[in-house]
């Protein structure tokens, strides 16, 4: 092979050279070089976040540990889906997932706890979401991260630690709030398209290597959006997105999703604002999966005076699906799931150092669903679950705001399990202007799903059958964390480090019964004694000079099922990520890259099967074409790392070309 620096070398090697050059540029070009300007901060410190307390705070002043992903951060990544946007955040693990449309996120975790099983809450514009399949979830009650296309996103707020004191069930590990684009202040719009291709790697089953029938696959995306404010106090935004791919299985299977979003906001009077939004989605995977969903949401905010803020909002969501087909090996299922929610909130600013937030919420979840097993047996369920909740929070500042205490508690009345109380205390101490300590301790809970509780007969799932258990108890957790955040070099360098620990009791697992049903092993859901997850998280971001940034993250996770002493599945002990980015402003060009390193992780509860440690490198280059267009080329998994589960077909190298236009 020729020298790695040979201009005639392979594409992946030349891209790596670009990545290394980016890192060298970040540290090697002096601040007075022609392409530079006066250094700026990593983030605008006054950027507002709301998810951690349901009240607005500047990012640097929020008392609850929060990571903000801005639109600019998203643009610097290669991400084709939300999961890939989040993979570099400390505490989030997504090493087995692919950055292609239609990929599942069912093994993605936050602080060792699984998104798909409802341990971390997903919000869109502050409202709870559900729906698997098209979002990457597994099963009719799985929760996927890829809820909406990346092009519809304005920013993402990631709140770590238990969130049940404000949000109730499903927020044990934290809350991820995906915030969509705002209605513009003037007439504006855009459009774009992506075309990509990727390879599919072989799988190994019982020691036998099986090659895919077609190694190379394609994917594409097209989107457009337009917004205006025809009147000073009335604005709207329309957005359409198409995504398509040929899947990463043994054969090419076309999957596609059409997404549409429309939102309107208005200010009919002073101190009063109203909003409404509709989201439509139509997903299809060849002839084995069809899903249609809609979400209607509306609400309003009212400030009778400077000291009071009142909001009322709600939504209705319906997901209609058909999975599989009659006589399919994995069975056939169809039905619909619905979610309805309404919430009222009042924030009372008693004085500059004290704010009370309290409110009430009502949720209704329903499922009308049929499974036809391969033996023609039927599993039917038609159930509704109601939850009524009250929440209270007090934000108290001492010493001119240097100390901030936030006690809170939530009461949930579940129609099946009765009452649950979820207390939490968060504290922030700003030792110096650039040094902040944060601490939190809280309890959280998660209700078993209708699937785990109420299906009236065993149902086929993969190569086994599952049986519901109406005697399940809610899972509970005690979680605490402590961390420090330090800003240096006139806020051009940020460093944070923290410790976390989650102690989960009555965790629900699917356990083999030792018996068989229709010739396959039968599993039943049951509560286990306790699981423990603890670890360290480190994050550093640097704006070395105006046009060059560098981000580094590291997570150490120690997980254990206390019942058998084994590690939790798909939870790497070590995860390291490095992301340099450089913009040549003079030439309207830029380059960015991401290097991710994962240690080994176990794929079964007995810890007898594992994924080996591996490294994945992605890179992206772009060029502005005038003021209104940008062309970019993206490469994922440049070195064709053997990532993912070797028992499954996986995506290898992936490449995309993207054109983005604004008008």
Q: How confident is the model at residue 97 (pLDDT cuts 50, 70, 90)?
A: low
Report how far residue 110's alpha carbon sits from residue 90's, in angstroms, rounded to the nearest whole number: 9
Is the predicted pLDDT of residue 203 greater than 50, yes or no?
Answer: yes
Report how far residue 52's alpha carbon sits from residue 600's, in angstroms, rounded to the nearest whole number: 32
Q: Which residues pair with 476 in a beta bridge?
A: 445, 505
Region 302-315: mean pLDDT is 94
Cite the beta strand spans of 377-507 per DSSP E.
Answer: 378-398, 403-414, 418-432, 435-446, 459-461, 464-467, 475-488, 493-505
DSSP structure class, residue 78: -
- In angstroms, what is the C-alpha Rg of the chain? 25
In this predicted structure, what is the pLDDT of residue 609?
Answer: 82
pLDDT > 90 in the chain, percent: 37
Q: How confident is the model at residue 422 (pLDDT cuts 50, 70, 90)?
A: very high
In this predicted structure, what is the pLDDT of residue 383?
Answer: 84
- Residue 86 DSSP SS3: helix
Closest listed residue to residue 222, CA positions, set 253, 259, 247: 259
Report how far residue 22's alpha carbon sits from residue 91's, in angstroms, rounded to the nearest whole number: 26
In this predicted structure, what is the pLDDT of residue 287?
Answer: 67
The CATH architecture assigned to 11-658 reads Beta Barrel (2.40)
In this predicted structure, what is the pLDDT of residue 1?
Answer: 38
In this predicted structure, what is the pLDDT of residue 144?
Answer: 61
DSSP structure class, residue 23: H
φ/ψ (deg, to 5) at 67 = -110, 130
> 125 with 117: CB under 8 angstroms?
no
Q: What digits encode the pLDDT tens for the residues 582-597? A: 999 888 999 999 899 9
> 145 with 176: CB under 8 angstroms?
yes
Q: How confident is the model at residue 41 (pLDDT cuts 50, 70, 90)?
A: low
Instruction: Provide the residue ranges of all domains of the chain, joining segments of one domain with +.
Output: 11-658
Report how far residue 305's alpha carbon sits from residue 534's, in angstroms, rounded to the nearest whole number: 45
Report how far residue 439's alpha carbon sits from residue 353's, in angstroms, rounded to the nearest whole number: 19
Q: What digits encode the pLDDT tens for the residues 240-296? A: 999 888 776 667 777 888 989 999 999 998 899 999 999 898 888 776 778 888 889
In this predicted structure, what is the pLDDT of residue 458?
Answer: 79
In this predicted structure, what is the pLDDT of residue 104?
Answer: 59
Report how far residue 592's alpha carbon sits from residue 394's, in angstroms, rounded to the nearest whole number: 42
Q: How confident is the model at residue 31 (pLDDT cuts 50, 70, 90)?
A: very low
Q: What digits encode the pLDDT tens for the residues 149-200? A: 788 889 999 999 888 899 988 888 899 999 988 899 899 999 999 999 888 8
> 33 with 26: CB under 8 angstroms?
no
pTM of the full predicted structure? 0.85
DSSP string of 288-353, one letter each residue: TEEEEEEEEEEEEEEEEETTEEEEEEEEEEEEEEEES-TT-TT-EEEEEEEEEEEEEEEEEEEETT
DSSP string of 595-619, one letter each residue: EEEE--EESSTTS-SEEPPEEEEEE
Q: What digits encode the pLDDT tens for the residues 481-508? A: 999 999 998 888 999 999 999 999 888 8
Region 84-97: mean pLDDT is 80
């Amino acid at each position: 092979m020729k020298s790695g620096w040979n201009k005639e070398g392979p594409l992946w090697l030349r891209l790596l050279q670009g990545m290394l050059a980016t890192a060298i540029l970040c540290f090697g070009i002096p601040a007075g070089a022609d392409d530079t300007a006066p250094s700026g901060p990593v983030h605008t410190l006054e950027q507002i976040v709301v998810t951690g307390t349901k009240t607005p705070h500047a990012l640097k002043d929020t008392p609850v540990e929060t990571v903000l992903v801005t639109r600019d951060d998203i643009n610097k990544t290669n991400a084709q889906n939300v999961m890939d946007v989040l993979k570099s955040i400390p505490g989030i693990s997504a090493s087995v997932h692919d950055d292609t449309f239609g990929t599942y996120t069912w093994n993605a975790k936050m602080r060792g706890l699984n998104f798909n099983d409802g341990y971390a809450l997903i919000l869109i514009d502050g409202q709870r979401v559900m729906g698997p399949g098209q979002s990457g979830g597994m099963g009719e009650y799985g929760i996927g991260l890829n809820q909406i296309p990346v092009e519809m996103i304005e920013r993402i707020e990631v709140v770590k630690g238990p969130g049940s004191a404000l949000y109730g069930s499903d927020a044990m590990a934290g809350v991820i709030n995906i915030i969509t684009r705002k209605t513009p202040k003037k007439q504006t719009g855009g459009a774009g398209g992506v075309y990509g291709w990727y390879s599919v790697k072989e799988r190994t089953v019982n020691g036998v290597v099986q090659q895919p029938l077609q190694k190379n696959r394609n994917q594409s995306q097209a989107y457009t959006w337009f917004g205006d404010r025809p009147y000073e106090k009335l604005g709207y935004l329309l957005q359409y997105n198409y995504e398509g791919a040929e899947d990463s299985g043994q054969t090419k299977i076309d999957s596609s999703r059409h997404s549409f979003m429309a939102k309107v906001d208005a200010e009919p009077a002073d101190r009063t604002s109203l909003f409404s939004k509709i989201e439509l989605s139509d997903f299809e995977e060849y002839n084995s999966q069809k899903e249609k969903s809609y979400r209607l949401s509306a609400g309003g905010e009212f400030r009778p005076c400077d000291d009071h803020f009142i909001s009322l909002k709600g939504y209705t969501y319906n997901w209609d699906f058909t999975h599989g087909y009659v006589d399919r090996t994995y069975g056939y299922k169809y039905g619909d799931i619905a979610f309805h929610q309404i919430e009222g909130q009042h924030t009372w600013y008693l004085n500059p150092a004290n704010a009370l937030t309290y409110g009430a919420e009502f949720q209704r979840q329903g499922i009308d669903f049929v499974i036809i097993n391969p033996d023609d047996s039927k599993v039917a369920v038609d159930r509704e679950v109601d939850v009524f909740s009250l929440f209270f929070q007090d934000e108290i500042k001492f010493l001119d705001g240097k100390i901030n205490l936030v006690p809170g508690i939530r009461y949930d009345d579940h129609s099946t399990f009765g009452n649950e109380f979820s207390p939490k205390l968060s504290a922030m101490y700003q030792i110096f202007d650039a040094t902040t300590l944060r601490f939190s301790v809280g309890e959280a809970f998660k209700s078993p799903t209708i699937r785990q509780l109420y299906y009236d007969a065993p149902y086929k799932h993969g190569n086994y059958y599952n049986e519901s258990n109406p005697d399940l108890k809610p899972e509970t957790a005690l979680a605490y964390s402590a961390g420090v955040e330090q800003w240096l070099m006139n806020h051009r360098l940020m460093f944070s480090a923290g410790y976390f620990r989650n102690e989960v009791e009555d965790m629900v697992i699917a356990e083999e019964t030792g018996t068989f049903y229709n010739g396959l092993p039968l599993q039943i859901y049951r509560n286990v004694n306790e699981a423990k997850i603890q670890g360290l998280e480190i994050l550093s971001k640097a704006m070395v000079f105006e046009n060059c940034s560098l981000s580094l993250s590291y997570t150490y996770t120690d997980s254990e099922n206390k019942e058998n002493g084994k590690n939790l599945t798909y939870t790497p002990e070590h995860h390291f990520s490095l992301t340099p980015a450089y913009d040549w402003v003079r030439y309207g060009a830029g380059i960015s890259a991401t290097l991710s390193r994962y240690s080994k992780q176990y794929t079964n509860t007995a810890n007898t099967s594992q994924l080996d440690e591996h490294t994945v490198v992605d890179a992206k280059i772009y060029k502005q074409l005038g003021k209104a267009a940008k062309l970019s080329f993206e490469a994922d998994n440049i070195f064709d790392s053997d990532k993912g589960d070797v028992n499954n077909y996986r995506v290898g190298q992936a490449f995309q070309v993207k054109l983005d236009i604004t008008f």
